[in-house]
A and B are shown apart, each in its own frame.
Chain A
Amino acid sequence: MGRLAHGGTVLATAAAGAVRALVVPRRRRPTTGPDRRPARWQVVTVDRPPEQVLPGGRWPEPLRPLDGAVELYLRPAPGGRGTELSARPLGGRPELPGMAAHLVGDDPGLLIRETLRRAKQYVETGEVLRADRSRLDRPVVRR
Chain B
Amino acid sequence: MRALCWEGAGALAVREVPDPELRNAADMIVRVRRSATCGADLPLLAGRTPFLAAGDVLGHEFLGEVVEVGPEVREHRPGDRVVVCAAVSCGSCWYCRQGLYASCDNGSTMPARAEAAWGQPTGGCYGHPSALGGFAGSHAEYARVPYADVGAFTVPEPLDDHRAVFASDAAPTGWMGAELGGVRPGDVVAVWGAGAVGQLTAQAARLRGAARVIVIDRHPERLLMAELHAGAETLHFERTDVPAELRERSGGRGPDVCVEAVGTEPDGAATRSLADRLGDVGRAERPLAVREAVHSCRKGGTVVVLGTFSGFVDTFPLGSVMQKGLTLHGARQHGQRYIPMLLRLMARDQLTTEHLATHRLPLEQGPAGYELFRDRADGCVRTVFAP
**Taking beta carbons and an 8 Å cutoff, which residues of A are in contact with B?**
45, 47, 81-82, 110, 113-114, 117, 120-121, 124-127, 129-133, 135, 138-143
For residue B25, CB closer than 8 A to chain A, the reply is yes
Shortest CB distance A25–B (Å): 30
- Please name 28 pairs of A and B residues whose Cβ atoms are closer than 8 Å in the assembled complex, sorted by A: A47-B92, A47-B97, A81-B94, A110-B112, A113-B115, A117-B105, A120-B106, A121-B105, A125-B26, A126-B25, A126-B26, A126-B72, A127-B25, A129-B24, A129-B106, A129-B107, A130-B109, A132-B20, A132-B135, A133-B18, A135-B17, A138-B18, A139-B18, A140-B16, A141-B18, A141-B19, A143-B19, A143-B141
A143 touches B93 (CB 8 A): no
Tell me which residues across on chain B come within 8 A of A138, comparing CB atoms. Answer: 18, 21
If A47-B92, A124-B90, A126-B72 touch, whether A131 touches B111 (CB-CB below 8 Å) is: no
Q: How many A-B residue pairs have CB under 8 A?
A: 81
Tell me which residues across on chain A come within 8 A of B21, comparing CB atoms. Answer: 133, 138
Complexed CA–CA distance, A115 and B136 (Å): 24
Tell me which residues across on chain A come within 8 A of B90, comparing CB atoms. Answer: 121, 124-125, 129
**What are the nearest 7 A-B pairs in CB distance?**
A131-B109, A130-B23, A47-B94, A121-B106, A131-B134, A125-B90, A143-B19
If A124-B106, A129-B146 touch, whether A142 touches B92 (CB-CB below 8 Å) is: no
If A132-B136, A140-B17 touch, whether A127 touches B94 (CB-CB below 8 Å) is: no
Complexed CA–CA distance, A141 and B26 (Å): 23
A142 touches B19 (CB 8 A): yes
If A132-B20, A141-B18 touch, whether A47 touches B93 (CB-CB below 8 Å) is: yes
Tell me which residues across on chain B come within 8 A of A126, comparing CB atoms. Answer: 25-26, 72
Residue of B nearest to A132 (CB): B136
Shortest CB distance B258–A (Å): 32
A133 touches B92 (CB 8 A): no
A124 touches B24 (CB 8 A): no
For residue B76, CB closer than 8 A to chain A, the reply is no
Tell me which residues across on chain B come within 8 A of A143, comparing CB atoms. Answer: 1, 19, 67, 141-142
Tell me which residues across on chain B come within 8 A of A141, comparing CB atoms. Answer: 18-19
Shortest CB distance B24–A (Å): 5
A132 touches B144 (CB 8 A): yes
If A110-B112, A141-B19 touch, whether A125 touches B92 (CB-CB below 8 Å) is: yes
Shortest CB distance B304–A (Å): 26
For residue B224, CB closer than 8 A to chain A, the reply is no
Residue of B nearest to A80 (CB): B94
Residue of B nearest to A137 (CB): B18
Complexed CA–CA distance, A81 and B109 (Å): 23
For residue B159, CB closer than 8 A to chain A, the reply is no
Shortest CB distance A57–B (Å): 23
Most buried by A among B23, B105, B111: B105
- CB interface residues, B 105-134, toward A, < 8 Å: 105-112, 115, 121, 134
Complexed CA–CA distance, A17 and B72 (Å): 31
Instruction: Pick from B23, B105, B107: contact of A120, CB below 8 A.
Output: B105
Shortest CB distance A87–B (Å): 15
B105 touches A124 (CB 8 A): yes
Instruction: Pick from A45, A47, A135: contact of B55, CB below 8 A.
Output: A135
If A124-B106, A143-B1 touch, whether A130 touches B18 (CB-CB below 8 Å) is: no
A133 touches B23 (CB 8 A): yes
Complexed CA–CA distance, A142 and B24 (Å): 21
Instruction: Pick from A124, A132, A139: contact of B93, CB below 8 A.
Output: A124
Shortest CB distance A47–B (Å): 4
Residue of A nearest to B29 (CB): A143
Instruction: Pick from B26, B105, B112, B121: contact of A127, CB below 8 A.
Output: B26
Complexed CA–CA distance, A134 and B17 (Å): 10
A129 touches B109 (CB 8 A): yes
Shortest CB distance B89–A (Å): 10
What is the 8 Å Cβ interface bit string for chain B, positions 96-110, against chain A (1 contact, 0 not)?
010000000111111
Shortest CB distance B27–A (Å): 9
**12 additional contacts, CB 8 Å, given A125-B92, A125-B106, A130-B24?**
A81-B94, A113-B112, A120-B106, A124-B93, A124-B105, A127-B26, A129-B109, A131-B135, A132-B20, A138-B21, A140-B16, A142-B1
Residue of A nearest to B146 (CB): A129
Tell me which residues across on chain A come within 8 A of B144, comparing CB atoms. Answer: 132
Tell me which residues across on chain A come within 8 A of B112, comparing CB atoms. Answer: 110, 113-114
Tell me which residues across on chain B come within 8 A of A135, comparing CB atoms. Answer: 17-18, 55
